Amino acid sequence: MDLQAQESKYIINTYNRQPQATPLLMRGEGPYVWDDTGKRYLDFVSGLGVNSFGHCHPQVVEAVNSQLKQLMHASNLYYTEPQIRLAERIVSHSCADKVFFCNSGAEANEAAIKLARKYGKIKKANDAHEIITAKRSFHGRTLAAITATGQPKYHKGFEPMVAGFRYGEFNDLESFARLITDKTCAILVEPVQGEGGVYPAEADFLKGLRTLCDDHGLLLIFDEVQCGMGRTGKLFAYENYGVEPDVFTLAKALGGGLPIGVMAAKGEAADILVPGDHASTFGGNPVACAAANAVFTIVTAKGFLEHVAEMGNYFAQKLCELPREKVVDLRSLGLMLGLEINGDGAQVTKLCQENGLLINCIGGKILRFLPPLIVNKEQIDEAAKILQNALTYA
């Protein structure tokens, strides 16, 4: 029995993998991966934004190997050096004052939801517990995070949803303003909607949300799980807009390939949660934090973020050169790009894969590109050529 057949026998089917069509990946290096037949692919999925420096970056590997030999895990009842050093780096490079460590973006958003609800209980009257999120958003797969997600298709089959969430139209400030009541405690949005189809926020929208939250005593929470850690050409996506949130969440790229999540908070929001309110057994694991510290060293090196912005502009330019009759819209910020096409996105994705390029399709029509941040022009040219051929024959 081959491995793909064993997968279908032993693993619950929550991903639509096809044994005859989905590659069995064996090795990765930089922006490339190889399957069990030795075929090489240019990986523009990057583990859905996790492998932001490509695969097995030497600095991350070295940091992980070194930490593995010293201390693999310790309870959060005790101090560990990698965790404290990572917390200091996040705080010193952001608007945050303190952080909470967990293991994923969904967990980070759960922590933010709990913080917001307790904030409402303490700081506001009338049992304020409602959180306004955006339609077309995505915040994770746990029950509260999926309720915060403004896409009904993810709710189906899991009703009843968690009470206390309302949904405004992304980039429509008035639609959010209309939803605020004396029960509202926070507004939660992604600066760039990723899973929803790569929709960057408009600057006036985020600035308007900041004003609404200030005027009504609400927390402004940014979900930067996918768009944070250099993906947009800035260390944090909010820096593109000149708007500081009270709370923001990170995950994906932060660990360089290992699981880690962070909820960061500033001001009075940073002191809402106290011992007993929240916890995570594996949160801030020494090995994951060692990897994340290496990630910080790489992404904050001189010229790195400028490279991301330059490659993002170059890739967007190459996508604009595709046949106009095939393209409906291009949306991008840095190296986070969504190409809405006139055609079958799944078929284009399949043809790209067959020709050595891994990309992701959303909603049947939107091709999402999350190339590693180390990508160069030659690799972008390679991807654009494969994509153009796929669009021609799809």
331 band by pLDDT with thresholds 50, 70 and 90 = very high
Band of pLDDT at residue 220, cut at 50, 70 and 90: very high
Q: Are 181 and 148 in contact (CB under 8 A)?
A: no
Token output for 168: 């405004």
CB-based contact 198:337 (threshold 8 Å)? yes
CA-to-CA distance for 329 and 344, rounded, in angstroms? Answer: 15
* Distance separating alpha carbons of residues 250 and 298, to the nearest angstrom: 17
Topology, domain 59-299: Aspartate Aminotransferase; domain 2 (3.40.640)
Do residues 236 and 211 lie in contact, with contact meaning Cβ atoms separated by under 8 Å? no
Instruction: Give the model confidence (pLDDT) of 83-93 as tens digits.
Output: 999 999 999 99
Q: Is 165 a catalytic residue?
A: no
Mean pLDDT value of segment 316-342: 96
Just give the CATH number of 3-57+302-393.
3.90.1150.10
Binned at pLDDT 50, 70 and 90, residue 180 comes out as very high
Q: Are 221 and 249 in contact (CB under 8 A)?
A: yes
Partners of 101 in beta bridges: 262
With 80 as the cut, is the pLDDT of residue 188 above it? yes
**All residues at 6 or more sequence positions from 260 whose CB lies less than 8 Å from its CB, including other chains:** 101, 102, 103, 251, 254, 284, 285, 288, 289, 291, 292
In angstroms, rounded to a whole number, what is the distance separating the alpha carbons of residues 29 and 72? 24
Close Cβ partners of 235 (under 8 Å, ≥ 6 residues apart): 93, 94, 228, 229, 299, 300, 305
- Determine contact, residues 361/48, Cβ cutoff 8 Å: no
| Active-site entry in 101, 138, 205, 296 | 138
Residue 135 appears among annotated catalytic residues: no
Q: What does the alpha-carbon distance between residue 164 and residue 161 come to, in Å, rounded to a whole number?
A: 9
44, 222, 223, 236: the active-site residue: 223
Q: Is the pLDDT of residue 50 over 90?
A: yes
Residue 132's alpha-carbon distances to 168, 222, 333, 346, in angstroms, are: 7, 12, 24, 32
Q: What is the mean pLDDT of residues 282-308?
A: 98
Averaged over 329-356, what is the pLDDT?
97
Judge whether 69 counts as a catalytic residue: no
User: pLDDT value at position 393?
Assistant: 86
Going by pLDDT thresholds of 50, 70 and 90, the confidence category of residue 19 is low
132-145 average pLDDT score:
98
- The length of the chain is 394
For the chain, the structural domain boundaries read: 3-57+302-393, 59-299
The residue with greater pLDDT, 84 or 124, is: 84
What's the mean per-residue pLDDT of the chain?
A: 96
Q: Which of 3-7, 53-57, 277-281, 351-355 has the lowest mean pLDDT?
A: 3-7
Predicted confidence band of residue 201 (pLDDT cuts 50, 70, 90): very high
Q: What is the mean pLDDT of residues 345-354?
A: 96
Please give the model's pTM, rounded to 2 decimal places: 0.97
Active-site residue, selected from the candidate residues 101, 118, 176, 252: 252
DSSP state of 358: E
Cα–Cα distances (Å) from 344 to 295, 321, 365, 387, in that order, read 36, 19, 6, 13
Share of residues in the chain with pLDDT > 70 (%):
99
pLDDT digits (tens, 9 = 90+) for 94-103: 999 999 999 9
Residue 187, number of CB atoms within 10 A of its CB: 27
pLDDT for residue 385: 97
When pLDDT is averaged across residues 41-48 and rounded to a whole number, the result is 97
Query: Mind giving me the DSSP string for 85-146?
Result: HHHHHHHHTSS-SEEEEESSHHHHHHHHHHHHHHHHHHH-STT--EEEEEBT----SSHHHH
